[in-house]
Chain A
């Protein structure tokens, strides 16, 4: 079946670096995407979303890029901080009320 997946299970960066986390999706009908952050011992937390009529959306220190041609989504975190260490995963929606989630990428930020 169609699914959302992540390319890298673990990403290690130095504090202050920019981080890029990637996500591939296969459902061409998906038109809404969300990035979540999940810290240890906590539930997922909404970070930023994007609709398929956009290819870029910026938040505070985060940017989501959507490439519909290759069905690719990325999350860029500027000036990564130790508090950014967490699992990040994407989710897609194709018009119904439910989301399909990716497996997640662990981001490790070293001081």
Chain B
């Protein structure tokens, strides 16, 4: 609906597993974002990519590794996660980042991947 798709929608993994989350945007945007949404915390920005270059890493642990091969695709590689990493992981895109925010540069969110770490 929003032009941003995420797969899988649900993921259950053990602490020793390696998995990847995928995000794809069909809006022709140049910026993509990963957010974490926990039950007890506000939405937290994790990473920002602009024109495939990482422009922001919000002190995210190295067990989360993002990859942005092109402006339309964004991945989040997961390894050795902890149970407290269980959350909804949201991807978003916008025309660009690094400029003054406005409705012109609105972020469009995907539906998220519900991650459970056992």
Contacts and interface: CB of A to CB of B under 8 A. Distances in A.
Decide if A and B are genuine partners: yes
Interface string B81-118: 00000000010100001111111001111111000000
Given A42-B111, A103-B41, A98 B48 contact: yes
Contact of B111 (A43, A97, A104): A43
Nearest to B44: A101
Interface string B1-36: 110100000000000000000000000000000000
Interface of B: 1-2, 4, 41-45, 48, 55-56, 58, 90, 92, 97-103, 106-112
A32 B106 CA distance: 12
Contacts, number: 57
B34 to A, nearest CB: 12
B interface majority secondary structure: loop
Interface of A: 3-4, 32, 34, 41-46, 49, 89, 91, 93, 95, 97-104
